[in-house]
Every structure is written in structure tokens, then in C-alpha cells.
Structure 1
């Protein structure tokens, strides 16, 4: 019985690790989207400033 419980716990740990990894990937992707938006806005502002000089 102890072996079956251990195997079940091991499986649950692996499932949680996969879920955490997926969440981390989604969070990183969201950060890259925010950075890209920020970089585009910064470049647009830079061009506007150069155009007004």
C-alpha cells in the first residue's frame, strides 16, 4: 500500500511541476508582449521627437 501511495504522490508532483512550468511560460510570454508594446511606443515617441526638431 505504501508503494502505491508513493507512486501516486510522485505522479501528482510531476503534474504540479508541469502546471507550474506552463504558468511560467505564459507569464514570460506576457512579459515579452508588454516589453514589445513598450519598445514600440518608445520608438514612436523617439521618431515624433526627432520630427519636431
Structure 2
């Protein structure tokens, strides 16, 4: 299957096709996941008479 010279040259010098972009998957987070990422589940401390005490 020999192609004519014109088609061979067209195949050699053809422009590269732009690559298709892959769609990113959106991450689904629960409310508890979001709160833990924000640090809301960590213990909080306050000062009382010069000492740090954990807030209830």
C-alpha cells in the first residue's frame, strides 16, 4: 500500500491534534469532613487566672 508522494508529505507535515482535556472529578465531602478540615473538632482553650483551661 504505497501512498502517493503528496499524501506521504501530508502525513509527515500534518499539524498535531490538540490534546483533549480530562474532566476533573469533583470531590464530594460530607458536613463532618468539612468541619474536620476546618478544625472545628479540635479542643479549644481559654485563659483563666493565668492558666490555659480547656473550654467545655
Is TM (by shorter chain) over 0.5? no
- Larger strand percent: 2
Flag the structure with larger Rg.
2
Larger relative contact order (C-alpha < 8 A, sep ≥ 6)? Answer: 2
